[in-house]
Amino acid sequence: MWERTLQDLIRGLRANKKDESKFIAQAVDEIRTETRSKDMEIKAAAVLKLTYLHMLGYDMSWASFHVVEVMSAPRIHLKTIGYLAAAQSFQQDTDVLMLTTNLLKKDLGSRPEEVAIALNGLSHIVTPELARDLSPELVAMLNHSRPHIRKRAVLAMYKVVTKYPDILPSSMSRLRDKLDDPDPGVVAATVNVLCELAPQSPRDYLPLAPQLFHLLTTSSNNWMLIKIIKLFGTLTPYEPRLVKKLQPPITDLISTTSAISLLYECVRTCIIGGMLLGHAGNALARTCVTKLAGFLQDADQNLKYIALLAMVKIVPTHPELVAEYQDMILSSVNDEDISIRMRALDLVSAMVSRHNLQPIVQHLLSHLVKTESVALPSASEALSQFGPSQDIPAARLGGLPSQSPAYRLTLAQRILSLGSQDLYDNVTDFEWYISVLVDLAYVARVSIGAEIREQLVDITGRVRAARRYAVQVMAKLLGDESFLHNASDDGGCPEVLWAAAWICGEYCSELAEPHKLLSSLLQPRILSLPSDIVAVYLHAAMKVFGSWATELADRWDDDDLPRVRGVVDDVVGRLSSIVTHTDIEVQERAAELLQLFTFIRADLSAYKPQPRNTSMYGESSMSPGAEGFGEPSSTASASTSPASEPHFPKSLCLIRPLFGAYELNAVALSAQASLPIPEGLDLEAWIVPFKEDPTPLAGDATDEALEGKKGKKGKRKGGEKGAGKSKRKGKARARGGADDEEDQAVDGNGHDVVVQPVETEEERAERERRKAERLERLRDDPYYLMDDRPPLTKFGATDVESIPVVKLDDLPPLSTAIAPTARLPSLRSTPAPPAQTFVIDKTGEMPEGAARTASAPVSPQPQRPGVRVASPSPSYGTYGNGSRSRSATPLGASVAAPLPSRFPAYDLDADEPRPRTPEAIKVTKVKKKGTTGSGGGGKEKKAKKRTAAKPSESESLAQ
């Protein structure tokens, strides 16, 4: 027999664990029967049991009306069950809530105990309609004689105002009176409600500031003080006069209170309220930092956490105060609690400067390298030692919190963000930072290679003085077999090899013996790398060989020929295995490179040593009429001899001009926006104009008949005028000169072409002309495929002079392509720049003819010893190599980066002439308006004067 009490239901659930669903189904059926009983006690017990089942996840929405019936019970203990069930099960869309309005009004005007139950239930089930209908009764309850009723009414007021904000103006005076209520519980409840409502409209609560300040200075309730201080933190930004008023009491609280939560809330309010600014705020800030620093040494982890959290908010305004405790903060990075370590990282990132960047980064980097204390292996690890796996230490380190991949990734990203902040503004030694990036690639063991690659390439391009060291480090990295072997593993950072290959290829002029790098760039093991990295390897190998070959040609000695042949043969052999790569880009680059080196090898094999000519190469050795490698020109004069040819193989200069035309520089952020729109460019017009099919010309019938497309078209009316050769010849012989006029009329193209009866060559020329015109019409047709290959019958078997020959006569003189510097193994012996003379290009290069926009100027950076920032002068074209624009660099000029001592430090004299105003910023609107009269011309001249004055003002600011 089913027991009707809640205790029996709980006992039955515990006793029927194996078949719980069946037991609950039976219980629900019994509850359904009990809810239809006329006995209110039985119905209330059924609702109570149903409320318990609802807490377990079972639906009781079908009993909503029975819950309302229990809520209206006259007995207090039954009414309590009804309100409890309503608070648990009723939603905003419950349909029976409309039946509770009068019930709640009746209960709010009843005995105090029923009023208390009604207020509690109302705060849970209130809807906008209930809040609107019951607001008068609820406001009246704020003046109830019982303190606990007033406190409940104040708390319920928050829920009612949230659902029905229109009640707030009429109830604000009552809430303000409750701040002076004699019962401290009512005051605390009122402060809590105001603290929650104030962030929605802080200005409406500024009149309460005097009463709140009185409570702040007189109350001893820490929890209420926390709410008051938080409320003042919301009001202070809207009333600055409160800052000066609140500084003395808050300073006193920080100095005297022993409550940690109150102390933290005081510090937080000081920060968000702007109380730490100004002379008076400095003393308060020092007091806050001193208190928080004491928490860092406390054994309580919670105190450490809130101290770090508060210091993170103080360091933007007072970094020098937080920096005094740098060692204590860095020690928190080694804490066992991951949350404390993360907050310490946030604080370290916020307090970094150019003075403490190196020790902070070194500490973080050592934290990545540091091995944890070796603990006893687990059972699975002990058993796995006898298996084939060899990754036991790495797996154990990965399980430790401080060595987890997520934390290591965060730590590595934080190191990179510290160095690259504000375009490396805090880095004073770029050689040190490059070594940090390389070390990070070795020890990170997470996927951070793409970010390291971007910074390596960016630093090498922006800082000229660091290129020499970067090339040296990248060359060593390319030759490290262990790094290449681990690059394919998780966290191997293979993208760093992309940067290494690109830097060594782009700035290989820093190496004295670049050819030694080819074995590392073309080794077979690179095939295990991603395809984009292999493609960069091949591109870099081409640039390295081109630079070395051009240098070798400048100081050519016939004894170098076997060595060059050996290098070329080795490259061809290595490329033969790469040309079959599965990636299409790698395959294409390898095939092109293989063809180039095959061509060079053939030229080296055909080269014969010759006595060196006394004339310099570039003056007479490379004559414009040269047609081959070591072969005299067929059109040269008789005085031309093999001695006038270069004394080295021409193929050595084949690759370098392909890459040395211009120097790659950093691009300004506003470069694209500063490009002027070319004159005549209409972005709305078709790039390829749409044309309808033109009407066939009368004379095209002969062409189409010869091409086999429309063989019978020559018999038509138009085709009869331009018939075939045989028919025309016969008629011409018969009619003689009388047919000349007829032939001119037949032409019909606006050209007077006289066709001789026996001159068939002109007829062929006319046909070729018409064909060329037709092809020219079809050239712009995107749906017509052009075949630009020459016909196979163009050259005869004996037409040797017409065979195309690759010419290298337009190569630049080697005397201008190679800088006459001494060469030693490894790097060049050019004196390395001192470590304190780094110049950072923060502006980037602007395109030629472009004007800097308003967003282009860079804010002046503070001058610091050892690091100079490039000036954003309008005349600044490249990295300062002396050229004003890209066009000033000749084809094939050397791309070797000059040392900083060889070019100015971007300090322009005031007397130096400035370039003219770029055309992109001309005032075109004035020109359109000034169409008549001299007044318009005067306005135009004034506008031009103002426009011309703008660059000089920006230049003076940049100085």
In sequence order, the 6+-apart residues with CB closer than 8 A to the CB of 551 are: 818, 823
pLDDT (mean) for 205-233: 92
Domain count for the chain = 1
Q: 58, 40, 41: which is closest to 50 by C-alpha?
A: 58
Query: 705 or 847: which carries more pLDDT confidence?
Result: 847
Query: 195 or 835: which carries more pLDDT confidence?
Result: 195
Cα 70 from chain centroid (whole Å):
62
In angstroms, the CA 358 to CA 352 distance is: 9
The token pair that represents 335 in the structure block? 């804490």
Domain span at 485: 403-556
Tell me the per-residue pLDDT of 883-904, one tens digit each, with 9 for 90 and over: 333 333 333 333 344 333 333 3
- The reply to whether 953 falls in a domain is no
Matching residue, tokens 């006459």: 820
In angstroms, the CA 564 to CA 489 distance is: 37
Query: 52 or 618: which carries more pLDDT confidence?
Result: 52
In angstroms, the CA 368 to CA 405 distance is: 11
- The reply to whether 756 falls in a domain is no
Residue 194 has pLDDT above 90, yes or no: yes
- The reply to whether 86 falls in a domain is no
511 strand-pairing partners: 827
Q: What is the mean pLDDT of the chain?
A: 75
Q: Angle 338-351/405-419 helices, nearest 10 degrees?
A: 10
Torsion 715-718-721-724 (CA) sign:
negative
pLDDT the model gives residue 722: 42
pLDDT the model gives residue 892: 35
In angstroms, the CA 219 to CA 498 distance is: 66
Mean pLDDT is highest, among 699-708, 710-719, 817-826, for 699-708
pLDDT the model gives residue 740: 44
Model confidence band, residue 473 (pLDDT cutoffs 50, 70, 90):
very high
Q: Angle 147-163/128-141 helices, nearest 10 degrees?
A: 150
The token pair that represents 41 in the structure block? 């006690």
In sequence order, the 6+-apart residues with CB closer than 8 A to the CB of 68 are: 82, 86, 96, 99, 100, 103
- The reply to whether 234 falls in a domain is no
Is 660 in contact with 680 (CB distance < 8 Å)? no
- The reply to whether 873 falls in a domain is no
- The reply to whether 456 falls in a domain is yes
In angstroms, the CA 622 to CA 652 distance is: 14
Residue 831 has pLDDT above 50, yes or no: yes
Model confidence band, residue 49 (pLDDT cutoffs 50, 70, 90):
very high
Tell me the per-residue pLDDT of 679-691, one tens digit each, with 9 for 90 and over: 888 878 887 776 6
pLDDT the model gives residue 218: 92
Tell me the per-residue pLDDT of 841-897, one tens digit each, with 9 for 90 and over: 777 777 776 655 444 444 444 444 455 555 443 333 333 333 333 333 333 333 344
pLDDT (mean) for 917-938: 43
In angstroms, the CA 431 to CA 470 distance is: 7
Model confidence band, residue 774 (pLDDT cutoffs 50, 70, 90):
confident
Tell me the per-residue pLDDT of 265-315, one tens digit each, with 9 for 90 and over: 888 888 888 888 877 788 888 988 998 888 888 888 888 898 898 898 888
pLDDT the model gives residue 824: 34
Q: 160, 159, 150: which is closest to 186 by C-alpha?
A: 150
Contacts within 8 Å (CB) and 24+ apart, 627-632: 627/805, 627/807, 627/809, 628/805, 628/806, 628/807, 629/603, 629/808, 630/606
- The reply to whether 471 falls in a domain is yes
pLDDT (mean) for 910-930: 43
In angstroms, the CA 188 to CA 540 distance is: 73
Residue 251 has pLDDT above 80, yes or no: yes
Cα 77 from chain centroid (whole Å):
64
Query: 686 or 189: which carries more pLDDT confidence?
Result: 189
Tell me the per-residue pLDDT of 329-380, one tens digit each, with 9 for 90 and over: 888 888 888 889 888 888 988 888 888 899 999 988 988 886 544 444 444 4
E strand or H helix at 374, and its extent? none
Share of the chain above pLDDT 90, in %: 35
- The reply to whether 568 falls in a domain is no
Tell me the per-residue pLDDT of 577-599, one tens digit each, with 9 for 90 and over: 899 999 999 999 999 999 999 99
Torsion 342-343-346-351 (CA) sign:
negative
In angstroms, the CA 566 to CA 551 distance is: 17
- Concatenate the DSSP letters of all residues of 98-124 into one string: GGGHHHHHHHHTS-HHHHHHHHHHHHH
